[in-house]
Structure 1
Amino acid sequence: MSHSPLLFLLLLLSYVLYLVIGAFVFSTLEQPYEDQLREKVEDLWSEFLKTHHCLSEEHLDDFLRKALFVRSFGVSVQRNISGFEVKWDFVSSLFFTGTTLTTIGYGHPVPISLCGKIFCLFYSVIGIPFTLSVLSIVARNLLFLLRDKPIRVLHLQCNFARIKLEWIYAAVVVSFLSLLFFFIPAVVFNAIEENWGYIDALYFCFISLSTVGLGDYVPGEQSGQRMPALYKLLVICYLLVGMIAVFIVVEILKSLLNCDRLFNLFLFGCDDSQRAEEMERNPPYDSEFPYVQKHDETRRRRVPHSVSPTEKSYGTINPSFS
């Protein structure tokens, strides 16, 4: 009897527990800061009303509600805005399409018109699978050129186990890509964005390339930035190339950890015999010696029984010994 249903139930319970632990930790860390900010807002509200006696609390509340509603669409309510802060020029629209089709989705800005929302639906239905497929294909081609070929050459020329070569390669590549697409870009964003610290910039890089895209940090939104159009174009290139790097890391880890076999443990349609057949079809690499494929017994050349006694026979017992 297969244990897949029990393992599947255990997997679901583990995920629910993981969600509960995350919610508890976030609530413990963030709620005190939320209470402090709420107290500051209440103090500012009371001080502003005391200073401006002619303004009623209802009018102030209505104005702030409308201003925040407009702000949620990416439109600033400040009057001293420059032409570079227009949210739907061509470069900003290109930034929006790039972040939408990569599923990052900062939410700043968002379509305002009804036609824009409808077009966004159909555009994303086609564009999101297309974009992710292109990025995945590029990542796999790069893996073939930069991993499979070098490892195959080293495996043939050096008497070294392939699995060890793969682990060494994975450690080097993951370290290099982390430095190239997380730690170094965080230094650049820290220098360009005045209100971002280094941890904020590193947080932005991870949230963006993991396609979470919370939208609390969006590059190129500061007033008076130099060459904002070029800056946003470079950010788009960084996000696309960075996601390819993330795909490469995911493929490397999936190959090393053999995730397909692990997933089969939780599938109802994959019983123990099927898993055993999968293990036979994909034997693990020997940790010390290179893997050599065994010959199939059914492919051995069969010699007919009519072989003369003077000829050597390898398929049957030689009649001369009978």
Structure 2
Amino acid sequence: MVSRRPLFFFLLLLLSYVLYLVIGAFVFSTLEQPYEGLLREKVKDMWNEFLDDHPCLSVELLDDFLREVLFVKSFGVSVLKNISDLQVKWDFVSSLFFTGTTLTTIGYGHPFPISLSGKIFCLFYSIVGIPFTLSLLSITTKNLLFILRDKPIHVLHLQCNFSRNKLEWIHAGVLISLLSLLVFFIPAAIFNVIEENWGYVDALYFCFISLSTIGLGDYVPGEQGSQRMPALYKILVICYLFIGLIAVFLVVEILKKLLNCNRFFNLFLFGCDNSRRAEEMDCDLPHDSELPFVPKHDETTRRRVPHSGSPTEKSYGSINHSFS
């Protein structure tokens, strides 16, 4: 039978999430809809101006041409004549960038497989590759958590006159601030310099959207036709994404240990009362490794067996044949 308390908290959590979705949709609609209206008016004016300047061109032909152009553009192929020969979307480095962003579940969607065989291969490749990548990132995070968190806190706890809880909070604040600086703010400044059309806020937005594995694809590095050393640049971006994801995983693990999220999550789990009782009973009982070594004899047997250090003590555990 499901306990009422976890059910109540679960329904409250579900209602809170739905409310959070509704609030987000309302805010985005309020912010973006006016800008969308302005763009629609701008496109409409450009359309009318172009038709006025070219009266020999019919509306149907222009509409068909633009539809084909946008269709080709959706596959990541540039339609601009002066740079179409320079941007190859599926060379080796670009394909490496695609595999890296796909297996890390960032998925910018630019480019994406066009052929049927490419889509089938991407399916099976991702089935194996995504768990493999996430396992690698998780194992790396666990090792770094021991090196960067557990070991320093243990050493500081032995040397400093601070409580462990206080040391954990101080260490978490310093480490999270340092990681945020290294994977968000400094890379955003670098992207701001390299990418001509990105402001600093745009670059910071790209870093967060990428490392949170959202990957909207509105900002993709290395897509400029005048990009210097594009192959090296994309390889460095792949390295940054992997290092940044490890840093994000590390921050998540630090916060989980700091806030003790297991107790919080138990509030929403059905049957958590029984599991909590089992855990409490398990904690009360000492483990085998915590018990001192004792010979496997009962108390009566241990009293009857003489101690090896007392050779003169009589043994009452055997029959004395002198009385026979």
Instruction: State if a TM-score over 0.5 links the two structures.
Output: yes
Q: CA deviation at 1:262?
A: 1.2
Deviation per residue, 1:2-55 (Å, 9 max, x gap): 411111111111100000000000000000000000000000000001101111
The Cα shift of 1:281 comes to 6.3
Q: 1:171 aligns with which of 156, 170, 173?
A: 173
Match of 1:287 in 2: none
1:146 deviation in Å?
1.5
- 1:5 and 2:11 are equivalent in the alignment: no
Matched ranges for 1:228-239 at <5 A = 228-239=230-241
Q: Which structure would you say has the larger Rg?
A: 2
Give unmatched runs, 5+ long, in structure 1: 284-293, 308-322
Q: Quick check: 2:222–2:230 contact (8 Å CA) kept in 1?
A: yes
Tell me the residue number matched to 2:276.
275
> Is 1:214 the equivalent of 2:210?
no
Aligned equivalent of 1:77:
79
Tell whether the 8 Å contact from 1:207 to 1:213 is kept in structure 2 after alignment. yes
**Distance in 2 separating the partners of 1:231 and 1:81:** 19
1:180 aligned residue: 182
Q: Distance in 2 between matches of 1:164 and 1:278?
A: 26
Distance 2:110 2:85 in 1: 17
Check 1:129–1:305 CA distance in 2 against 1; reply closer, same or farther (3 A cut).
closer
Counterpart-to-counterpart distance in 1, 2:248 and 2:148:
15
**Aligned counterparts of 2:58 and 2:36: Cα–Cα separation in 1:** 26
TM-score of the superposed pair, with normalisation by structure 1:
0.86
The aligned counterpart of 1:157 is 159
Q: Which residue of 1 aligns with 2:193?
A: 191
In structure 2, the residue matched to 1:248 is 250
The residue that corresponds to 1:315 in the other structure is: none
Aligned to 1:43: 45
Aligned CA distance change for structure 1 residues 3 and 225 (closer, same or farther; 3 Å)? same
Q: Is the 8 A contact 1:261 1:275 kept in 2?
A: no
Other-structure match for 2:96: 94
Q: Aligned-pair distance for 1:85? A: 1.1
How many residues are aligned here? 297
Quickly say closer, same or farther: Cα 1:305–1:118, change in 2 above 3 A: closer
- Deviation of the 1:304 alpha carbon: 6.3
CA contact (8 A) 2:172 2:254 kept: yes
Question: Residue type of the partner of 1:107?
Answer: G
CA contact under 8 A between 1:5 and 1:268: conserved in structure 2? yes
Paired residues of 2:78 and 2:84 also in contact (CA < 8 A): no
What does the per-residue CA deviation read over 1:175-232, in whole Å, with 9 as the maximum and x for residues that have no partner? 0011111001111000011100000000000000000000000000011111011000
Q: Deviations over 1:249-302 (max 9, x none)?
A: 00000111111121111111212x53355467679xxxxxxxxxx999x96999
Aligned mates of 1:137, 1:170 — CA distance in 2: 20
Cα distance change on mapping 1:21 and 1:151 into 2, 3 Å: same
Structure 2: how far apart are the matches of 1:295 and 1:138? 30
Paired letter, 2:276: R
Distance 1:295 1:132 in 2: 33
Tell me, yes or no, if the aligned pair for 1:82 and 1:224 is still in contact at 8 Å.
no
- Structure 2 distance, partners of 1:279, 1:256, is 21
CA shift at 1:154, angstroms? Answer: 1.6
Q: CA deviation at 1:144?
A: 0.6
Contact 1:139–1:244 (Cα < 8 Å) also in 2: yes
After TM superposition, give the deviation of residue 129 of structure 1 in Å: 0.8
| Distance in 1, Cα, partners of 2:302 & 2:111 | 85
Identity of aligned residues (%): 74
Whether the 8 Å contact between 1:100 and 1:124 is mirrored in structure 2 is: yes
1:105 is paired with a residue whose SS is coil
Distance 1:202 1:149 in 2: 32
Flag the 1:108–1:129 CA change in 2: closer, same or farther, 3 A. Answer: same
Q: 1:200 maps to what in 2?
A: 202
Give the Cα separation in 2 of the matches to 1:276 and 1:159.
35
Q: What does residue 224 of structure 1 align with?
A: 226
1:152 CA displacement? 1.1
SS in 2 for 1:37: helix
- TM-score normalised to the size of structure 2? 0.86
1:3 counterpart SS class: helix
Whole-angstrom distance in 2 between the partners of 1:194 and 1:206: 19
Alpha-carbon distance in 2 for matches of 1:306, 1:107: 74
